[in-house]
Every structure is written in C-alpha cells, then in structure tokens.
Structure 1
Amino acid sequence: MTPATLFDPAALGIVLGGTLLATALRTPLRDVAHALLALRILPRRRFRAEPRLEQIAMLDRLAQRHGVHALDRSVIRDADVAAAVALIVDGAQPDAVAEALDTARRLRMERHRIAADCWTGVAEVAPAMGMVGTLIGLIAMFTRMSDPQAIGAAMAIALLATLYGALLANLVAMPIAVRLRTAARAEATERARLLGPLVAIAIREAPRARRHPRLLDPVPADEPSEHLVHEEAA
C-alpha cells in the first residue's frame, strides 16, 4: 500500500467542505476568520511578562527622574502597557488604570476563547461529516452493484471519509483548540503580573502631579535617548 491509496479527492472534499459549511453555519464568519488568524500564535514562544516588567521598571525610573510626562516619549510596543501608561500620563486614578488593564485582559481572553471554541466545533463536526461521506459512498456502491470498478471507488469514499473525519478532529482541530486555550491561560496569568507595577506608578504619580504641576512639562528635546525605552521581543 502506498500513500496514494489513502488519498481520495471526493472523500476529502466531502469532509472538508461539509466541516467548513457546518462551522460557518454555527459560528459567525468574523469568529471563523479570527480562529484562522489565531493559528499565527501557535509557532510563537509563550507570552512572558518579564520583558514588559523590565520596561515598566525603566518607565518608573524615568517618571521619577523627569516627571510622568516624560513617558509620552517612550516607545511601548505592548498595547495594554501603552494604554495604561497613556492613562497614567493623563492623570487617571489608579482604579481607572487597573480597570483598563483588567478589561483589556478579559477581552483578550474572550477572543482566545472564541477561537478555541471554533476549533472545538470543527473537532465535533468533522467525524459527523466523515459519516456523511461514508453514507454517500455506501449509497453510490449499492446503486452501482453491477459495475465492480464503481463499487471499489464508492467503497473507497465510504472508508476514507470516516478516516479523514477522525484525523481532522483528533490530529488537527482538537490539538489546536487545546493549545489555544493553554496559551490563553498562560498569557492571562502573565499579564496579571503587569497590573501591580503599573498601578503603583499611577498611585505615586497622580498625587505627585497634582502637587507639582511642573512635573507634567514635557522632557526637553536634548535629553538623552535613553528615554526611548524599547521592549524586548516577547
């Protein structure tokens, strides 16, 4: 037996086409697209908070030395950290900073959950589509019993459709869903570590800025370039 004997375009088309159609009918197309885009995160390294914590510590020292408005000139690639720093620069209360970070984290978790649920749905549907292919193959076989060659082709569809459905569910869709959920939980745990240091800056800088309005003045243009804090790639 060669690998070519395990390939049947008709059976594969029934399983893939049926699974895609069923997934599109039960899931909004926007969520399906998001589930496909989520595949990009699988080859990446797991999210780590350390590079961002180091950057937050540098931002903290910068704010203490030159005032909170110096943070406006910092290069921050992480969207959540950048949004929190913008709130701190604007003089937001610590509770507002904490709420913004928590909301961003929950929204990110929800996006990951939607993507994982979509792939779980694929894993649920694929075996059923395999059975549909099997039934189609059996029907084709019984309606052409007088043609031995046609019986073989129909039987191949019937058997391979079941195989394709099982492989798609257990070797593709379900592992992707599990990995997405694992990555989402790990990222949520790591991002929770960013909350404390950023809120601490907000607690210190909000009353300090009110007592000393001059601290809100921008950093002079001739200050050293160390104010541009670059985040280490995650």
Structure 2
Amino acid sequence: MITLAQLLDPAALAIVGGGTALAIVLRTPFRDLGHALAAVTTLGRGRFDADPLLQQITALARIAKRHGVMALDRSVIADADVAAGIAAIVDGASATDVATLVQHRRRARIERHVAAADVWAGAAEVAPAMGMVGTLVGLAQMFATMSDPGAIGGAMAVALLATLYGALFANLLFMPIANRLRAQGRNEAFERARIEAPLVALAERETPRGYVAPTLAPTLATVA
C-alpha cells in the first residue's frame, strides 16, 4: 500500500515547484506578478455586488440635492471607482467626462484581473513541462548510477514523482485558481457597469450649463 510519505520527494518537488516559479518570474512583469499573488487572497470572498455602491450613490445624490454638490467633498467613500467619479463631479466634470472616467477605471480593473488570471494559467502550462524536466533528470541520474542498485530506486522516484507533481499542480492548483479569478473578474466587471449610469445622471444634474470642465487626463493617467 502506497503511503503519503512515499509520494513525497524533495528533489522532484524542488524541480517542479522551483522551475515553475522561476519560469513565471522570468516571463511576467513584476506588477502583474504582484497582482496575481494578491488576487489569491480574494478567492474566499463572496461574489461582488454593486447594490451597496448604488445605494451609496443614491444617498450622495440626495445630499447634493439638499446641500449642494460641494457637500459631497466631505463624504467618506471606500470604493475607489465611486470616489473618483464623485470627485470628478465635485470638480465640475461633465457627464461625458464622468462616463469616460468610470469606463476607463473599469477597463483598467478588468485588465488587472485578466493579467492575474493569466499568470496562474501560465503556471498551469509550465508545471507539466517542469515535470517532464524532472523526469529526464531522474532518468539521467538512474542511468548514471546503474552500477549502484541502491541509487536506482531514488532516481526512479524523482523521475516518476516529478511527472506526478507537474500534473497535480497544473490541474488541481494553478488552473482552478486561474478559472476562479476569471469568473470573479467577469462578475465584477458586469456589476461595476451598473454604477456608471447613476454617476452620469448625477453629473448631468449638478454640472452648471455653459461650464467648461477641467480635463480629466491626469486622473485617467493615474488609473492605467
């Protein structure tokens, strides 16, 4: 009967795990790599729901109607996209500019989600290849030690377990993470599209007629 201890081999694990990690580091920009690692912490969260943000925007619209749009400048807004939209409205941005800002931030967020998922999908592609590398290393070691029967078993273990580790890491760890991140990203992108209309409506109501709004180019540049 095979035990768990018999399926653990440090050499094979180092080849597959270390080789996969090195390949991902070499092929991925550090910013995307940081996003991919940070994204793992979000896997335990529930589905993103824009309803609380819509309720907050409605409350902010009531405040602006009663006390003027400048009163929104003192509001505490946790969500970065809503905060950016409200700040633009307070600065007198037009409805078109607010829509452009919200859309740009949503697209930038989508790109970050896609980049993070691609890192883990890339790891799923590399792991089996590293398993094959471990297999070749084990076979080479086995042939080099044919005169020592006691060393053949260890070399064969490296060869077989490296392939096993590559398949397990790819199909039970890396690819599931990538797929879940993609699902989360699609859901959040769909939900965040809902906040654009109320922010644009608020901007249309509060922007004075004939007012020339300042450009949002610096703000958009900071999102990219």
2:3 alignment counterpart: 2
Q: 1:69 and 1:208, CA in 2 relative to 1: closer, same or farther beyond 3 A?
A: farther
2:214 alignment counterpart: none
Task: Please give the alpha-carbon distance, in whole angstroms, between the structure 1 residues aligned to 2:81 and 2:30.
Answer: 27
1:149 alignment counterpart: 150
The answer to which of 26-35 and 91-100 deviates more is 26-35
Task: Please give the alpha-carbon distance, in whole angstroms, between the structure 2 residues aligned to 1:8 and 1:167.
Answer: 14
Identity among equivalent pairs (%): 65
Q: TM-score under structure 2 normalisation?
A: 0.91
* Deviation digits for residues 102-152 of structure 1 (CA, Å, limit 9, x no counterpart): 000000100111111111110000000000000100111111112222100
Alignment of 1:9-20 (within 5 A): 9-20=10-21
* Shift of residue 80, structure 1, vs aligned partner: 0.4
* Deviation digits for residues 173-214 of structure 1 (CA, Å, limit 9, x no counterpart): 10111111111110000000000001000001113796xxxx
Calculate the aligned-residue CA RMSD, in Å.
Answer: 1.3
Task: Please give the alpha-carbon distance, in whole angstroms, between the structure 2 residues aligned to 1:30 and 1:55.
Answer: 31
* Shift of residue 2, structure 1, vs aligned partner: 1.4
Please state whether the residue corresponding to 1:207 is helix, strand or coil. Answer: coil
1:96 alignment counterpart: 97
1:163 alignment counterpart: 164
1:35 alignment counterpart: 36
Alignment of 1:83-232 (within 5 A): 83-207=84-208
Count of paired positions? 210
| 1:125 partner amino acid | V
Give yes or no for contact 1:91–1:209 (8 Å, CA) kept in 2.
no
Q: 1:55 and 1:208, CA in 2 relative to 1: closer, same or farther beyond 3 A?
A: farther
* Deviation digits for residues 15-40 of structure 1 (CA, Å, limit 9, x no counterpart): 01111111122212332222111111
| 1:3 partner amino acid | L
- Unmatched 5+ residue regions in structure 1? 211-234
Give yes or no for contact 1:112–1:184 (8 Å, CA) kept in 2.
yes
* Shift of residue 62, structure 1, vs aligned partner: 0.8
Please state whether the residue corresponding to 2:112 is helix, strand or coil. Answer: helix
Task: Please give the alpha-carbon distance, in whole angstroms, between the structure 1 residues aligned to 2:113 and 2:203.
Answer: 29
Q: 1:81 and 1:197, CA in 2 relative to 1: closer, same or farther beyond 3 A?
A: same
Please state whether the residue corresponding to 2:207 is helix, strand or coil. Answer: helix
Task: Please give the alpha-carbon distance, in whole angstroms, between the structure 2 residues aligned to 1:142 and 1:28.
Answer: 39
| 1:112 partner amino acid | H
| 1:19 partner amino acid | T
Please state whether the residue corresponding to 2:49 is helix, strand or coil. Answer: coil
Please state whether the residue corresponding to 1:30 is helix, strand or coil. Answer: helix
Task: Please give the alpha-carbon distance, in whole angstroms, between the structure 1 residues aligned to 2:195 and 2:26.
Answer: 39
Q: TM-score under structure 1 normalisation?
A: 0.87
| 2:173 partner amino acid | V
Task: Please give the alpha-carbon distance, in whole angstroms, between the structure 1 residues aligned to 2:150 and 2:30.
Answer: 41
* Shift of residue 44, structure 1, vs aligned partner: 1.2
